[in-house]
Amino acid sequence: MKKYNFYAGPSILPQYTLDKTIEGIKDFAGSGLSVLEISHRSKEFIACMNDTIALVRELLEVPAGYHVIFLGGGASLQFAMVPMNMMNKKSAYLNTGEWASKALKEAKLYGEVVEVASSKDKNFNFIPKNYTVPEDSDYFHVTTNNTIYGTELKKDPVVRIPLVADMSSDIFSRPVDVSKYSIIYAGAQKNLAPAGVTMIILKEEVLGKVTRPIPTMLDYRTHIKAESMFNTPPVFAVFAAQQTLRWLKDLGGVKAIQKKNIEKARLLYDEIDRNKLFVPTIKDPEDRSLMNICFVMSDGYKELEKPFAEFAKSKGMVGIEGHRSVGGFRASTYNALPIESVKALVDVMKEFEKKS
């Protein structure tokens, strides 16, 4: 039976990436060695790292004055590294979900944190608007896409202080004006590569301004100077990221994939809105994520949640169960998910409606 992978992360990868990484496991860059055993100091891997960084710069149109680095530790490590490197006394955070809350919690270890707005009291089912960011803050932090609750900030915020964004689950899914940000970070396991590597884009001029001593390994400048090679980087994950970025470039880049993502999301949201059995968890279309589409059973059909989950599984749908804190269902429609998978899920929803 064909499987349709809707997992929220680690998640679906392009078939191109899978094929090329299999080749690299057998023979990396004609070296006669596997990418799993190659030295990160080898000329072959240094070329891979340099090309991966160049692809990031090209696809996101990263301007001069910014660095691109790859680190381990996931986005969760960045929750601490950002305030450690950026915060002298005060920072501001927009709280739109569990990961934003965790980032905010870490920042409190380094000074005053202003929560400029939060949607927690509504179970994070909307993106707060019309908030004020204190301009005496060292930076303002946002989480652009919220995988658990299915909301997304689709426009670059405009603020008068350094802007930091966790883009783990929507990086490369839409154009981004990098010049509006001081730091962008993204765990790779949603739209880029297998788990194990995090991409960070940094504006050089915002670093080196805190007064605290920073441990060598946690200082962004260490990794910029060493070109992501201060310690052994996640070699395999970087190699896989290179393949995904090549795939994305061949498709036409970020603008091209955005059109595909909008088409996929519209198809599924339209069915959720039409089908009497389901309702979206996010009511405002402006706030609905294009990457993580969340829905629950309608009133009067709650008892059909488990039967629908079992029916969908029998049809090859994998990973559509909602996060335990929300329940219901979540279809993650990342870049690599083909529209055929969305069409298959829509067909399953229609079929279940007819038989219920």
CB 52 within 8 A of CB 238: yes
| 99: annotated active-site residue | yes
Write out the two tokens for 350. 């229609």
SS3 assignment, position 255: helix
Place of tokens 């995988």: 147
Write out the two tokens for 99. 């990961």
Q: What pLDDT does residue 23 have?
A: 98
pLDDT category, 123, cuts 50, 70, 90? Answer: very high
Q: Which of 9, 56, 282, 93 is nearest to 176 (CA)?
A: 56
CB 158 within 8 A of CB 175: no
C-alpha–C-alpha distance, residues 162 and 137, integer Å: 9
Q: What pLDDT does residue 196 have?
A: 97
Q: What pLDDT does residue 57 have?
A: 98
SS3 assignment, position 331: strand
Place of tokens 């060598």: 216
- Name residues whose C-beta falls within 8 Å of residue 60's C-beta, 6 or more positions apart in sequence: 172, 176, 178, 201, 254
| 247: annotated active-site residue | no
Burial class, 204, CB count within 10 angstroms (exposed 0-12 / middle 13-18 / buried 19+): middle
What CATH number does the domain located at 253-355 have?
A: 3.90.1150.10
Burial class, 197, CB count within 10 angstroms (exposed 0-12 / middle 13-18 / buried 19+): buried
Q: How far apart, in Å, are the Cα atoms of 217 and each of 114, 203, 220, 223?
A: 27, 19, 8, 8
Q: What pLDDT does residue 326 have?
A: 85
pLDDT in tens, 130-149: 999 999 999 999 999 999 99
C-alpha–C-alpha distance, residues 106 and 109, integer Å: 6
pLDDT category, 325, cuts 50, 70, 90? Answer: confident
- The bridge status of strand 140-143 relative to strand 145-146 is unpaired
C-alpha–C-alpha distance, residues 81 and 74, integer Å: 11
- Name residues whose C-beta falls within 8 Å of residue 106's C-beta, 6 or more positions apart in sequence: 79, 80, 83
pLDDT in tens, 144-201: 999 999 999 999 999 999 999 999 999 999 999 999 999 999 999 999 999 999 999 9
Pick the catalytic residue from 190, 203, 260, 264.
Answer: 190
* Architecture in CATH of 15-251: 3-Layer(aba) Sandwich (3.40)
Pick the catalytic residue from 20, 138, 166, 260.
Answer: 166
Pick the catalytic residue from 99, 170, 219, 260.
Answer: 99
Q: Residue 196: left if φ>0, alpha if ψ -120 to 50, beta else—which one? A: left
pLDDT in tens, 196-247: 999 999 999 999 999 999 999 999 999 999 999 999 999 999 999 999 999 9
Domain ranges of the chain: 15-251, 253-355
Above 90 in pLDDT, residue 121? yes
Q: What pLDDT does residue 159 have?
A: 97
H/E stretch holding 60:
none
CB 220 within 8 A of CB 140: no
